[in-house]
Amino acid sequence: MASPPPTRRLRPSPRPRGIHLDASEPLSIRPHPYNVRPLGSLLLAAPGEPHLRASAGALGSLSSLHDELLLRLLSHLDAASLVACGRASRAMRAFCAAEELWKALVIDGTPPAAPLRFAGSWRLTYARRVRADVEEASAIRAPPLYSDALFAPWFCGTAALPRAWSARENVPRLDGTTLSVADFVRRFESPGVPVVLTNLATQWRAYTSWSEQSLRARFGATLFHVGGLPMALSDFFDYAHSTTDEMPLYLFDKHFAAAAPPLADEYAVPPHFAPRRDLFELLPRHARPDHRWLIVGGARSGSSWHVDPNATSAWNACVVGAKKWVLCPPHAPPPGVTPSADGGSVTCPVSLYEWFRVFHSSLGEGAREVTLRAGEILFVPRGWWHTAINLETTVAITQNYAPRCTAKQVLGFLRAGLSAEESERGLVSGVPDEARADLFHEFERIVRQTLEQPEEEEMPPLGQGATPSDAAPRRHHGWWRELVPTSAPSAPAADLLRGGVRMCGDAFHSAPPSEASDAHAAGEVAPPPTSFRFGF
């Protein structure tokens, strides 16, 4: 496993804006250990009230720097230099104790094979690698320090999740045991409409055996991938319950079946997404993109805004807990999320909490929202933007697949990946670089061979705009040519790839290159995004 790339650094904020929350719902916010408060609170301070900004020599010549720029400067220091700077003044101590600085030092400095173990704070985690008996130093009593750059991560990592965020529900729920596969394809898969299927996951053994207590007892010492590093499951649960990270780490493991084989036997792929309906399932093993993951996370962790890779569709089953989902149609990116020209990166808020508090109320009419609860399965159509934030400790399973009705889009995406510029080829993900050409050619072969044969169910329309006659099975020679153009696509490759992986946030910003494919596939990591911060 290669060394992890540099952790995302803090980026300058735009002009601060006020907090956007329902004033009728009071928020519970824990006091900051260094008495940091939002900058706007300075307006309410009594005249002459002492605060660190006014203290002589608080920041010295560094006081001319914007707080975000100061944090960015500090992010280039090693641990010894951070400690030394923190001794300069009480104000500098607060800046040098910022958890994101120490989180980066821990993750970037952890050998790839060394298990990650969280000690309650990232600074203490780093210190205990040097000396095991180190204890967390008590915070020094000091006048308030007014800084949005320091307060916003604390606020987003500790404030309660407002109930209003989960109030809207406009994704249909249907009993999966009575919805036929043909009806699912006709009503949801082919036209690209999200739906929640009930009474399927509740029949799995996982539904009764994947509680935190059970998983700790059975697999507590088992190592899973968390942020690109191995972490024992019990240690991860401890981290999830104690962290104040603005964007908590996520257990997101494509190798879970190898690490804990019983887990793979305790759930069953629903018939609506059965392997025989997945064209990627027909690929040779070396060319099959990564497609299934175990997901575990604490409250406020989740997947940042993204579109699933390789033009695939997906299903996500919440086995334990609850998570809030927001989905936006392909033609309407969510507010506050701006894709780059090539679709390879986006500009977005730093964290999910930040996005919800500022932009959730600005969603357009086409947006779909649902709180997915234990035992429910969400279908995510190809091309839809989506994000999910855990409302509590959650265990889920997810898989991506390529149904027949999206074969044209998948093939076009893979073809574009062959002719794209080098910087854009990474958007075809889930397979090693050397296998990407095989992926396209093998998938083209499958389209030729498979789509001339009708499915066992009535053939659904081939996407939007299909006519009634399209629903009938067709066997005439060359039908695959409707989906496999004989000439290269006329649109630039970047235009086709623009419908692929688009992500923001960095729940997996520390993932090494060898883990990039699985993180890309579920929207957990991306090329370093341009993030921004709103004030209070």
- Residue 422: the pLDDT is 52
Burial class of residue 265 (count of CB atoms within 10 Å of its CB; 0-12, 13-18, 19+): exposed
- Residue 3: the pLDDT is 33
β-strand partners of 338: 347
Helix (H) / strand (E) containing 395: strand 394-401
The answer, yes or no, to whether residue 100 has pLDDT greater than 50, is yes
Asked whether 27 and 21 are in contact (CB, 8 A), the reply is yes
pLDDT digits (tens, 9 = 90+) for 427-438: 778 877 777 778
Tokens of 489: 């696509």
Asked whether 321 and 240 are in contact (CB, 8 A), the reply is no
The answer, yes or no, to whether residue 13 has pLDDT greater than 50, is no
The answer, yes or no, to whether residue 97 has pLDDT greater than 60, is yes
Give the Cα separation of 196 and 172 in Å (integer).
Answer: 6
- Residue 465: the pLDDT is 36
The answer, yes or no, to whether residue 505 has pLDDT greater than 50, is no
pLDDT digits (tens, 9 = 90+) for 205-229: 999 999 999 999 999 999 999 988 9
- Residue 180: the pLDDT is 98
What distance lies between CA 147 and its chain's CA centroid? 28
Residue 8's pLDDT band (boundaries 50, 70, 90)?
A: very low
Q: Which residues contact 280 (CB under 8 A, 6 or more apart)?
A: 288, 289, 291, 312, 400, 401, 402, 443
Give the Cα separation of 120 and 139 in Å (integer).
Answer: 15
The answer, yes or no, to whether residue 373 has pLDDT greater than 90, is yes
Pick the closest to residue 455 from 313, 287, 272 (CA basis).
272
Give the Cα separation of 337 and 305 in Å (integer).
Answer: 8
Helix (H) / strand (E) containing 155: helix 148-158
* Residue 362 three-state SS: helix
pLDDT digits (tens, 9 = 90+) for 123-178: 999 999 887 666 666 666 788 999 999 999 999 999 999 999 999 999 999 999 99
- Residue 287: the pLDDT is 85
pLDDT digits (tens, 9 = 90+) for 270-326: 999 999 999 999 998 888 899 999 999 999 999 999 999 899 999 999 999 999 999
Residues across the chain: 536
pTM of the model: 0.83
Residue whose pair of structure tokens reads 């074969």 in the numeric block:
407
Mean pLDDT across 442-450: 88
Strands 195-198 and 173-175 come out as: parallel
pLDDT digits (tens, 9 = 90+) for 24-57: 566 678 899 999 999 988 888 878 777 887 777 7
Q: Which of 92-101, 289-298, 451-460, 508-517 has the lowest mean pLDDT?
A: 508-517
The answer, yes or no, to whether residue 370 has pLDDT greater than 50, is yes
Asked whether 354 and 387 are in contact (CB, 8 A), the reply is no
Residue 9's pLDDT band (boundaries 50, 70, 90)?
A: very low
Residue 385's identity, in one-letter code, is W
Mean pLDDT across 110-122: 94
Overall fold of domain 36-158: Monooxygenase (1.20.1280)
Higher pLDDT, 416 or 258: 258
Q: Which residues contact 208 (CB under 8 A, 6 or more apart)?
A: none
Helix (H) / strand (E) containing 530: strand 530-532
Residue whose pair of structure tokens reads 């800046």 in the numeric block:
95
CATH code of 172-403+500-526, in short, is 2.60.120.650
Burial class of residue 198 (count of CB atoms within 10 Å of its CB; 0-12, 13-18, 19+): middle
- Residue 511: the pLDDT is 39
Give the Cα separation of 311 and 412 in Å (integer).
Answer: 9
pLDDT digits (tens, 9 = 90+) for 457-491: 444 433 333 333 333 444 434 444 555 554 444 44
Q: What are the start-end ranges of the E strands in 280-342?
A: 292-297, 302-307, 313-320, 322-328, 338-339
The answer, yes or no, to whether residue 11 has pLDDT greater than 70, is no
Residue whose pair of structure tokens reads 């018939």 in the numeric block:
271
User: What are the extents of the domains in the chain?
Assistant: 36-158, 172-403+500-526, 408-497
Which backbone phi and psi does 167 adopt, to 5 degrees?
-75, -35
Residue 452's pLDDT band (boundaries 50, 70, 90)?
A: low
* Residue 380 three-state SS: strand
Q: Which long-range contacts (CB under 8 A, 24 or more apart) does 165-170 make?
A: 165/324, 165/356, 165/360, 165/389, 166/324, 166/371, 166/391, 168/369, 169/369, 169/370, 169/371, 170/368, 170/369, 170/370
**Mean per-residue pLDDT over the chain, rounded:** 81
- Residue 530: the pLDDT is 53
- Residue 514: the pLDDT is 40
- Residue 41: the pLDDT is 86
- Residue 425: the pLDDT is 55
